[in-house]
Each structure stands twice: as structure tokens, then as C-alpha cells.
Amino acid sequence: MATPPRTAPDARHAVQSDPKLLLPTLRIRVEAMIAALRAEGQNPKLFETGRSPERAVWLGSTGKSRNGIGSLHCLGAAADLVDAAHGWSNPAFFVALGRVAQAYGLTWGGDWDSNPATDQTFDDRPHVQAVPVPMQNGLRACKTAETRERFISDYLRAHPMPAVPL
């Protein structure tokens, strides 16, 4: 098997960071979360939002994504955030991200290795998603953006955002 290239082969595989690619309810929460992180002195950067099928398959082939085409990024239901200055190499940023994501009702990938019964078996510190891992297949079964939006908003309604910014 050929060794997969380290950089995206072409534009179809490129990372996309436009918040408009997120489902509306998730976008609202991610943008509020970014504001909350900035307010406490963090320097968050939205690294990846939506994901093309080509990129999803390619990341799966490199081992950088365990879900490949099943990634919630492909459904607009996940976002990856990193430290704008230090990328993946600031552990304190990810501790803050995990805490704030939880406060905003989102599921953080950084503690996924802590509960094999309900979690992925690897951790993914930049990753936040709209619903917990056991609900992923329900979300994947929604066939349109409208039904996906309804699915995540039904779940997140029970997990309101903080009444005042953190």
C-alpha cells in the first residue's frame, strides 16, 4: 500500500473552517464558546468545521480519523478548535476547551479514552461535537440537514447554554 501523503492531495481534501458549515444550533454554541474562551484569556482558533467526503476518506486512510466517512464533521455536527498561536501544543488550552465545551452542553473529544463503554477509544483534544457518542448513529440516520438540525436541537434544548457568559 502506498504511504498516504501528509498534505492534502488537492482542494477537495482541504480543511474547511467556515462556521457556516456547522448546523445552526452547534454554530451558535461554538461561537459562544469561542467568546467565553477569549474572555478568560485563551486564544482559540476554529480549525475545522465541515468536512468533504473526499477529506474524510483521506483522513481515514492516514489514521488521523477513526470514523472516516462517518465523521460528524461531514454532517456539520462537529468542530475542531486549537490554540491560535500554539496549535496542538498548549495542554492548558485544551483543558479550558474541555471545561467550556461541557458548560455549553457539547461533547468534548479530549476525555474519550476515559470511558470505553460510551466513548470512542481514543482522545481527540481539539474536537467538540453536538451530541454524545452513543447518539452518533441516531444523528447519522438523519438524511437531511433539517432533520439533523432538529436532532441536535432536541438534544441540546435539555442542555441549555449558561445564562450569563462564563
Residues that bind Zn ion (CB under 5 A): 78, 80, 127
Q: Kindly give the residue spans of alpha helices, DSSP state H, lying in the chain.
A: 24-39, 53-62, 91-103, 136-140, 145-157
Query: Which residue's Cβ lies closest to Zn ion?
Result: 127
Query: Which letter does DSSP use for residue 158 in this model?
Result: T
Pick between residue 80 and residue 83 the one whose CB is nearest to Zn ion: 80
Pick between residue 53 and residue 157 the one whose CB is nearest to Zn ion: 53
- Report in angstroms the alpha-carbon separations of 32 from 44, 52, 86: 12, 25, 21
CA atoms of 139 and 88, how far apart (whole Å): 28
Three-state SS at 82: strand
The nearest distance, CB 126 to Zn ion, in angstroms, is: 6
The nearest distance, CB 144 to Zn ion, in angstroms, is: 22
Pick between residue 105 and residue 126 the one whose CB is nearest to Zn ion: 126
The nearest distance, CB 2 to Zn ion, in angstroms, is: 25
The nearest distance, CB 21 to Zn ion, in angstroms, is: 13
